[in-house]
Structure 1
Amino acid sequence: MIKKTLFAALFLLTSSMIIAQQNITVEDIYTGEFRTAGLQSLESLNNGKEYIVLNYNRDRTQTIDKYSYATGEKTGTLVSSADLRLPIRSYTLSDDESQMLIVSQSEQIFRYSSYDKVHVYDMNTKELTLVSDELVRSAALSPDGKKVAYVFENNIYYKDLASGATTQVTTDGETNKLINGVSDWVYEEEFAIVRAYQWSPDSKQIAFISFDESEVPEFSMDVYGNALYQKQDVFKYPKAGEKNAVVGLHVYDLLTRKRNEINLNRNEEFYIARINYSPNGKLAAQVLNRHQDVLDFYYVDPSGNASIAFTEKDKAYVDVTDDLTFLEDGSFLWTSEKDNWRHIYHYDANGNEKKQITSGNWDVTSYYGYDAKNKRIFYQSTEDGSINRGIYSISLKGKKKTKLSNRIGTNSASFSSNFSYFINTYSSATTPPVYTLHDSKKGNQVREIQNNSGLLDKLKDYKFAQKEFSTINVNGNDLNMWTMKPADFDPKKEYPLLMFQYSGPGSQQVANRWYGANDYWHSMLANDGYIVICVDGRGTGYKGADFKKVTQKELGKYEVEDQIAVAKKMGAMDYIDSSRIGIWGWSYGGFMSSNCILQGNDTFSTAIAVAPVTSWRFYDSIYTERYMTTPQENASGYDNNSPMSHVDKLKGKYLLIHGSADDNVHVQNTMRMVEALVQANKQFDWAIYPDKNHGIYGGNTRIHLFNKMTNFIHNNL
């Protein structure tokens, strides 16, 4: 009996050790085995004591429920899909919370845009009003809650909710010719604008941007589907150096029903990147020249006169953000990196700088807003180091700075409407997301809302490679780096090296935050016997504007030099096999990995490029020209750093992957690269995923893709 018990105990111990040592699989990753629990998107109510959440219930209904910040207890239900007899996809409350705009049906267009079926629900009368029989775009309630505007077939309309009357604001909209009130493809992708109109605070005007895209070249791509004949998706897409949409700024007066185009007195091409109304009714417009190195901040008075309040210039480019808050006296808060780091500034009502509020060799990475009652500003920054994020508050005078987060890693905050509370989301490379409620005065924790400790328990059953953070000095710079090693790493052995990077301007991959899908895959590869590293080279973000903008006019030069130098330095390590160094990346990272195996052909033996740009001539005008100017001005910058200019140098194993319906980085990039490689008589591997966009997902697609990449690495690295 004793022997049997001992044997059973040993068997259980051995079994648990086997379970503990099982490696992660691609199927584990993409069937959600390591999914983290999160908070559903919440919105603070005006009282600052409660928030609302759209809940998806087990009976397949949706409810918009109220909760107490202090206790987390449910305090009521605002509306239920069962009562409305229609699904709730998303919602927006009116300013006074008496009306709710509800989207019940949505069809995606591009990254952020959609066609929607929209209703307005009256919170007092419980009446539900259909806005339009059609699917419309970018519906928005007026500030007084009495009207709702929307765009249909490129024209702006608004509906009076009391009378039910609908008024057409514009009549000249036409598909692929002229758009009113919503953005074109390139503004949506690069300026993150979809709704290109704003209600005035008194609900008497609608300011909007028009896009005359009649001369913008069309791009088309085949969509294969399941029918006998494929169809074509045709849309306007301005590539670098080509004609952009001609934009105009307009104000429509609801009383007179007159539309007034604002004269900005400009004789050159320009972008209207943002429009906002100040509380006193002044319209503000952020206007960039085509090079995007000069930003003019305009005021437009109610009569339509436009004047420049201030101008910001940069030797490279000026970033556009949503970091703008108007104060009661008409002054405003604004962020800028004009002192080499992004900081918060206070300007007076006329656009004169009053004070730089934050300062130091670190970046403000998120501006959360201004508490007018206590005259305090809330923000996120890199004061704990460029790979970390902390939450802070500071007075309007730039004094009494208070750190509100207390853990090193990545902290982000969601504040109540009156800034009395905030929900902090914390994670690090060793701690999955933890959600906690804090008071905003000192940052004291009120309660823990949710954690992911169960995921850590689950990961005990797997080989799990931890990230080791460090820096590596190449080309005169200390670059941020993380490393993953096998669980049974032996420094006396030699391992193949796989490098991952993105490297795009202002980006960051080396960050002290919890794992994403790629990280789990890298962990799997590490425990299959690889050293995996990631290095953020020159041109990436959060180490000062000069570090970020050094790549200006030469995308792919310094970033490639850094990755090659890192590979050589790592290859000199005793535990790295310098003959087996690979690199991979997606999008900009695919552009980089392609360049690295070609220009670093004596260093890299293997590369994978997913959805890569292969020439910046093929990419859109706003993004590309921000960093490269136009091909007409900078032909050598475009061509010398294009992978297609270096195909004759290919020595190693190269895998090229793209989705055929990528509206962002067009499959044209891969097709032209393939032809260049063929004509250079170079052998390579490639795969096209039919009807998949830039994300290459859907069904089993990601599992197939990452198993293909895994097999390629195992066979060649």
Structure 2
Amino acid sequence: MIIKKVLVLFLLIATAVTNAQQKNISVEEIYNGTFRMQYLDRLHPMQNGKEYAVLNTNRESGVKTLDVYSYETGEKVSTLINSSEIEGLDYFIGYTLSKDERKVLLSTNLRSIYRRSSLGVYYVYDLDTKKLIQVSEKSIQEPTFSPDASKVAYGLNNNLYIKDLASGATTQLTNDGETNKIINGITDWVYEEEFSFVRAFDWNADGTKIAFIRFDETNVPEFSMDVFGSELYPSKDTFKYPKAGENNASVGLHIYDLATAETKAVDLSGFQNYYIPRLEWTPDANVLAVQTTSRKQNDINLIFVDGASGKAKLILSDKDDAYVDVTDNLTFLDNNEFLWTSEKDGWNHIYHYDKTGKLKNQVTKGDWEVTSYYGYDAKNKRVFYQSTENGSINRGVYSVKIDGKSKKELSVKEGTNSADFSTDFTYYINSFSDASTPYVFTLHSAKDGKLIRKIKDNQELKDQFSNYVISEKEFFTLPVNGEELNAYMIKPKNFDASKKYPVFMTQYSGPGSQSVANSWDGGNGYWFQMLAQEGYIIVCVDPRGTGLKGRDFKKMTQKELGKYEVEDQIAAAQALGARDYVDADRIGIWGWSYGGFMASNCIFQGADTFKMAIAVAPVTSWRFYDSIYTERYMTTPQENASGYDMNSPLSHVDKLKGKFLLVHGSADDNVHVQNTMRLIEALVQANKQFDWAIYPDKNHGIYGGNTRLHLYTKMTNFIKENL
């Protein structure tokens, strides 16, 4: 009996000592690199199928090396490039290997333009001769090797050029490029942001032709932002930005023939061709594949263009009453048959078509979503993909025969699995994480998913977190408005169900998005843990309109962005407030971008439910946002004025009761600060008190120097003072 008492006392003391040793996360630690994650940087599967290349950086010397490793053993086989050994090149940022892997395109002096675009100085390094060639003395965009790596095509000052690496000669393909008027081969702002691509040109298979899109922005309205900088007078950044219902760039498709130096326009007038969101040459050097869509984006046309005659033929049309997503999943087989993904059966799945567009079969089926398409192994006739078959908040890696049979589970451990395959589909590197596990990289056999070896496991980061007070992320579903909504909750470590706690809700809620995912959540995830340490319960709910639960769930918000999502967040907060351990008078909500739009609407329309809200870089009226994104979900303001106005926070400012913090970057080229300024004016005229902050010359991400530290300190203090 005495022994048992001593043992119990020892355990109590040990527990107390352990808890005393654990510390709380600080905002400074989140943003000073304390919780550094290890990744495989810029992994490139080598053509031999046995090796892969990774870009490594020596943090002390700054030397970068492009190293090649054996898939099977993990041992370094060779170093292709060492930045300290290349005469005339002090450093490089990124790389692209040529198809034959004998030349490397190296990027230096990169300067971001918008989210995906950049200008840089580029060099070609010959791995055989060790010769270094500068592509252009000027900063250029999207340099791309020809198939045989004898030439590089690139964009400069809105025109296209080709550099012959052997002779050093440069050929200018277009001559009419002009800022804010004509762009050749590089996308305009709205294509880059909403169709997610910058390079609007492509080499054909034998390097004899280049197809490109020409953008005429002449009639697109301009948007102007003040750039305050450090000079006496601010400057202006003026660019073409088509807002909902306004003119877009007119686009045309062209093919340049290197042999004749002639450019021919392709006539697409017989098709829905308001937008051209994708172009790529097929394995047949004379067949160009182009995707076009109408302004409503409710049909995607796949068109084959004859490279010689320019004649266009409709191969496939994918339609939806709401909209059709543009993806990068189109894959051509050797005979120009192709694989395509579609939601036409209510869920996103893979389909197999012959080269005429005739459906051969549906490759995947079920009430789950294909979330990533990885590729096709022609030798074994297997398709590799990622899906939600193991639950909508999880991701697994699978393979299936192209006829839809013999499906295999490869990596399906509960959590989030993603894969990078070797070129011959012998191996794949699996990236795994869940809510409590930082990224783990392992090598597997693509045949059966068998583990071959561990690569990196971020165990050091996991051990580091054992020194902190960390709460478990609990997943659950919340019955709201006839749906079981995915949700998670983070409670304080010392949670006591007999007490009442304030709730801080986080969300994004945008169309097709997912915030409730069983994966490692750095950045904001650390911040939520810090808030839980302060005694707040963190809750996230994915409302109707978000993704990965089928076509109908995702697209039911069509023409009404901000209606059903707001109803769901308010109802979710009320359901949480009914729980014994929740203080229903202390519920707050926040969000960024679409999430800021939602947080604003929730504090206004749910004034009796939410005590406080923080909106960062919010859209405050969809009339202010870009055409492609907004019209995809709302059609135009001319067609749907009530949908735009009734769901705008500007229409509900008079209802504000709680504490509201509004934040924006003044140089946000995406969600313009105009959104916040209009909301500020509406609140002022409604005589509503609120707090706000503008970060000078910061874009949609609001970062740089101490900016993130300052922002998250401000938000943390606001929460502590008002919730």
**Which residue in 2 is equivalent to 1:631?**
637
**Which residue in 1 is equivalent to 2:262?**
258
| 1:301 has 2:303 as partner | no
1:539 to 532, 542, 545: 545
AA partner of residue 47 (structure 2): N
Cα distance per residue 1:502-522 (max 9 Å; x no partner) = 000000000001122112211
1:610 to 601, 611, 616: 616
Cα distance per residue 1:612-655 (max 9 Å; x no partner) = 00000010000000000000110000000000000011111100
Question: CA shift at 1:240, angstroms?
Answer: 0.5
Question: CA shift at 1:573, angstroms?
Answer: 1.0
Question: CA shift at 1:497, angstroms?
Answer: 1.2
Q: For residues 620 and 50 of structure 1, do their structure 2 counterparts lie closer, same or farther at Cα, with a shift above 3 Å needed?
A: same
**Which residue in 2 is equivalent to 1:19?**
21
| 1:435 has 2:456 as partner | no
**Which residue in 2 is equivalent to 1:35?**
36
1:275 to 275, 279, 287: 279
Contact 1:185 1:236 in 2 (8 A): yes
Question: CA shift at 1:466, angstroms?
Answer: 1.1
Question: CA shift at 1:407, angstroms?
Answer: 1.3
Contact 1:659 1:694 in 2 (8 A): yes
Cα distance per residue 1:72-116 (max 9 Å; x no partner) = 111111122222231121111111112221112211111111111
| 1:136 has 2:140 as partner | yes
Q: Distance in 2 between matches of 1:462 and 1:96?
A: 49
Question: CA shift at 1:456, angstroms?
Answer: 2.4
Question: CA shift at 1:445, angstroms?
Answer: 0.6
Question: CA shift at 1:16, angstroms?
Answer: 4.5
| 1:51 has 2:52 as partner | yes
Identical counterparts, % of pairs: 62
Gaps of at least 5 residues in structure 2 are 1-10
| 1:156 has 2:157 as partner | no
Question: CA shift at 1:267, angstroms?
Answer: 7.8
Contact 2:666 2:699 in 1 (8 A): yes
Question: CA shift at 1:13, angstroms?
Answer: 8.0
Q: Distance in 1 between matches of 2:13 and 2:635?
A: 67
Question: CA shift at 1:577, angstroms?
Answer: 1.1
**Which residue in 2 is equivalent to 1:66?**
68
**Which residue in 2 is equivalent to 1:461?**
467
Q: Distance in 1 between matches of 2:54 and 2:192?
A: 27
Q: Distance in 2 between matches of 1:30 and 1:92?
A: 30
Q: Distance in 1 between matches of 2:162 and 2:522?
A: 42
**Which residue in 1 is equivalent to 2:179?**
175
1:425 to 431, 438, 453: 431
**Which residue in 2 is equivalent to 1:666?**
672
**SS of 1:384 mapped into structure 2:** coil
Bigger mean CA offset, 539-548 vs 78-87: 78-87
**SS of 2:84 mapped into structure 1:** helix
Residues matched between the structures, number: 709
**SS of 1:463 mapped into structure 2:** coil
1:505 to 511, 515, 534: 511
AA partner of residue 369 (structure 1): G
AA partner of residue 221 (structure 1): M
Contact 2:40 2:54 in 1 (8 A): no
AA partner of residue 92 (structure 2): I
Question: CA shift at 1:144, angstroms?
Answer: 1.3
| 1:286 has 2:291 as partner | yes
Bigger mean CA offset, 264-273 vs 329-338: 264-273
Q: Distance in 2 between matches of 1:646 and 1:458?
A: 46
Question: CA shift at 1:460, angstroms?
Answer: 2.0
Contact 1:264 1:307 in 2 (8 A): no
Cα distance per residue 1:101-140 (max 9 Å; x no partner) = 1112211111111111111122222221111111111100
Contact 2:272 2:292 in 1 (8 A): no
Alignment of 1:216-365 (within 5 A): 216-266=220-270, 270-281=274-285, 282-302=287-307, 303-365=309-371
**Which residue in 2 is equivalent to 1:209?**
213
Q: Distance in 2 between matches of 1:62 and 1:523?
A: 35
Cα distance per residue 1:127-159 (max 9 Å; x no partner) = 211111111111001001111111111000101
Question: CA shift at 1:455, angstroms?
Answer: 2.2
**Which residue in 2 is equivalent to 1:80?**
82
Q: TM-score, normalised by structure 2?
A: 0.96
Q: Distance in 1 between matches of 2:157 and 2:434?
A: 46
Cα distance per residue 1:258-299 (max 9 Å; x no partner) = 100100024876100000111012101000100000111111
Bigger mean CA offset, 536-545 vs 126-135: 126-135
Question: CA shift at 1:488, angstroms?
Answer: 1.2
Q: Distance in 1 between matches of 2:454 and 2:670?
A: 40
Q: Distance in 2 between matches of 1:170 and 1:97?
A: 29
AA partner of residue 702 (structure 1): R
Contact 1:347 1:355 in 2 (8 A): yes
Q: Distance in 1 between matches of 2:583 and 2:126?
A: 68
Contact 1:224 1:231 in 2 (8 A): yes
1:92 to 91, 96, 121: 96
**SS of 1:473 mapped into structure 2:** strand
Question: CA shift at 1:343, angstroms?
Answer: 0.4
Question: CA shift at 1:495, angstroms?
Answer: 1.0
AA partner of residue 29 (structure 2): D
Q: Distance in 1 between matches of 2:13 and 2:436?
A: 31
AA partner of residue 377 (structure 1): V
Question: CA shift at 1:40, angstroms?
Answer: 1.6
Q: Distance in 2 between matches of 1:263 and 1:559?
A: 42
Contact 2:299 2:318 in 1 (8 A): yes
Alignment of 1:503-582 (within 5 A): 503-582=509-588
Contact 2:43 2:55 in 1 (8 A): yes
**Which residue in 2 is equivalent to 1:6?**
none
**Which residue in 2 is equivalent to 1:650?**
656
Q: Distance in 2 between matches of 1:18 and 1:223?
A: 49
Q: For residues 289 and 10 of structure 1, do their structure 2 counterparts lie closer, same or farther at Cα, with a shift above 3 Å needed?
A: closer
Question: CA shift at 1:60, angstroms?
Answer: 2.1
Alignment of 1:371-386 (within 5 A): 371-386=377-392
Contact 1:616 1:638 in 2 (8 A): yes
AA partner of residue 36 (structure 1): M
**SS of 2:367 mapped into structure 1:** coil
AA partner of residue 66 (structure 1): V
Question: CA shift at 1:165, angstroms?
Answer: 1.2
Q: For residues 126 and 470 of structure 1, do their structure 2 counterparts lie closer, same or farther at Cα, with a shift above 3 Å needed?
A: same
AA partner of residue 128 (structure 2): N
**Which residue in 2 is equivalent to 1:679?**
685
Q: Distance in 2 between matches of 1:581 and 1:13?
A: 32
1:473 to 471, 479, 482: 479
Q: Distance in 1 between matches of 2:61 and 2:676?
A: 46
C-alpha RMSD over aligned residues: 1.5
AA partner of residue 42 (structure 2): S
**Which residue in 2 is equivalent to 1:4?**
none
Q: Distance in 2 between matches of 1:385 and 1:115?
A: 41
Q: For residues 393 and 12 of structure 1, do their structure 2 counterparts lie closer, same or farther at Cα, with a shift above 3 Å needed?
A: closer
**Which residue in 2 is equivalent to 1:701?**
707
1:124 to 123, 128, 133: 128
